[in-house]
Amino acid sequence: MRKSVLLIAVFLISLNTIQAQKFESAKVERNEVYIDSMMNHALEKGFFPGAQIIVGTGDFNLISKNYGYHDYTKKQLVKTADVFDLASMSKVLGATLVTMRLVGENKIKLTDQVGKIVPLYKNSAIADLTLFELLTHTSGLTPSITFYQALLSTPDNSPLLSSQKSEQYVESFDNMYVNKNIVYDSKYLVFEPKQNWIQIYKNMWLNPEFYPSVYERIAKANTNPRGKYLYSDLNLLLVKQMIEAKTGSKLDQLTNEIYTELGISKIGYNPLKWTSIENVMPTELDNFFRKDTIKGYVHDEAAAIFGGVSGNAGLFANAESIAVICKMLMNNGNYKGKQILKAKVVKEFTDSPLAKEGIYRGLGFDKRKPDEFFKANDFGHTGFTGTFFFMSPDTNRFLIILTNRVNPTRTNRLMYKDDFSTKIWRQINK
């Protein structure tokens, strides 16, 4: 009798398992049909030239697909090995990951102050800003500074940009028009290699003597209320400086150590050092600063000024590499038996420590006020170039969408007007 009951129990468990697997398989198929439909519509309407997408769990990928082409000439299909400019996703996949490692190793503290770690800010107005404030974007620093424009001028001191097209302002840039008489400051910028100068584009080298003026401007940039949420690229520029001052190592070295432990190679700064230009998605036609369609070099001008390695931007990757990082984070810092990050640190950084003040941001990570698209525990980040990745501990799902929507121009905001990425995020978490 006992044996019969046991057999029936085993049979029922097996049946339930089979039914659950069938249900899950059907759900994945529905999601794939939905994603295909969304992608085909986006390509048809010109949201972006091409994309990669991965939907996965903490253990494996459920959907992994490539769509479209490198650009609108449609000569080169998107491949799995192709890497995209991640823009602000770099904030978490670069500087924040390294900070998490250092916090877990007690090499840096969230209470550490900028001026005590980075000597050049010791007596500045931002000296007492903490690492916590920088990572939660509550420092009061202005959202951005166009450092590169200090390298440009016009012979008659006329504006660099105009809102009106004219004989003098012909080429478009963003929603403006570029002065055709722009000249570059030869003291700080040259177009041939020069010893000890920093390569900032394929034909541009920057005099490192330019950096003190950059740091001086950052030191005076706390123009907004401290303790209030205001997203700023400058926060992560400072996080990078704190990391490098504390460790004596460069940010790209520190990120590469983590990527190597994870076994991923299609991710990093300055992609032409580790992949071919044919495998890099092009971004914007820059008629203003670099006078070229940017491919193989970072799109973000601030990151470019720092030689392509910055806290705010600079990373390139394919979706497969990011998927590995997602799995590691969803498994409390563990990947294939290796504890890459401390579990308690992962939890601390992906929580919303200031939710009581109405600030839902994590530490480095983007989190949202719960709504029809996002739950309280969801975390991830987006990027200006048209990139998105989010994870949900509640549903055990992650989503990565990489696009180059800024090709050929950043004015193309169709994917945002459509809530493109967030609609797919909602669908896979139903």
Residue 56 CB coordination number (10 Å): 23
Check pLDDT > 80 for residue 9.
Answer: no
CB 84 within 8 A of CB 281: yes
The stretch 400-427 carries a mean pLDDT of 98
C-alpha to C-alpha distance for 340 and 320, rounded to whole angstroms? 18
Query: Residue 98: enclosing H or E segment and its boundaries?
Result: helix 97-104
The stretch 150-177 carries a mean pLDDT of 98
pLDDT classification of 26: cutoffs 50, 70, 90? confident
The stretch 126-132 carries a mean pLDDT of 98
CB 144 within 8 A of CB 158: no
The mean pLDDT value of the chain amounts to: 95
**Of the candidate ranges 26-30, 89-93, 260-264, 306-310, the one whose mean pLDDT is the lowest:** 26-30
Q: Which residues have CB under 8 Å from 306's CB, separation 6+?
A: 198, 237, 314
Helix residue ranges, H only, 351-419: 414-417
C-alpha to C-alpha distance for 81 and 228, rounded to whole angstroms? 41
What tens digit of pLDDT does each residue of 362-371 get?
999 999 999 9
How far, in Å, are 135, 140, 158, 208, 277 from residue 230 at the CA level? Answer: 11, 7, 32, 30, 36
The stretch 111-132 carries a mean pLDDT of 98
Query: In the structure encoding, which two tokens stand for residue 239, read together?
Result: 């996080």
- Quote the radius of gyration of the chain (alpha carbons, Å): 23
C-alpha to C-alpha distance for 56 and 240, rounded to whole angstroms? 30
C-alpha to C-alpha distance for 124 and 111, rounded to whole angstroms? 18
C-alpha to C-alpha distance for 227 and 63, rounded to whole angstroms? 40
pLDDT classification of 3: cutoffs 50, 70, 90? low
Check pLDDT > 90 for residue 22.
Answer: no
